[in-house]
Structure formats: C-alpha cells, structure tokens
Amino acid sequence: MLQKRLDSLNKAIEAIEGGAQSYTLNGRTLTRGSLQSLYSEREKVEMRLAFAGNGGKGFIARASFRGRR
C-alpha cells in the first residue's frame, strides 16, 4: 500500500514537473497539488517505507570519530 502511494506521488510530481500543473477539459479546470506539498508527502512515505523495511527499528546511524579531542 505504501509503495503504491509512493508510485502515485512520483507520477504526480513528474506530471507537474513536465508542465501539467493544471489543465481544462470540457470546461472544467483541474489543478494538481503544489510541488512542495508533494515533495513533503513523498519524503514521509519514503521514511515510513524505510521504517517498515527494517523491522520497525527506526533508522540506524553509525558515527566514527577520528582525530584529536
């Protein structure tokens, strides 16, 4: 379900980036969401997918401190 949502968001983003922000058909105008809100939503979905993909353990970060203190 999350992957389908991500695919839909990517298609919407591609359409807007390709110049399809809004269009008129049979006298009705359709305006798609703003790119900023779509980017934000895509980031959230990607994070949820990553979280689900690693067993719900969150993000794993490793730091290596080298040098003088």
Other C-beta atoms within 10 Å of 53: how many? 10
**59 - beta bridge partners?**
none
Check pLDDT > 90 for residue 2.
yes
Per-residue pLDDT of 42-69, as tens digits, reads 999 999 998 888 776 665 666 777 777 5
Amino acid 9 reads: L
State phi, psi for 51 to the nearest 5 degrees: -65, -45
Q: What is the pLDDT of residue 48?
A: 92
d(Cα 39, Cα 10) in Å, to the nearest integer?
9
Q: What percent of the chain has pLDDT over 90?
A: 38
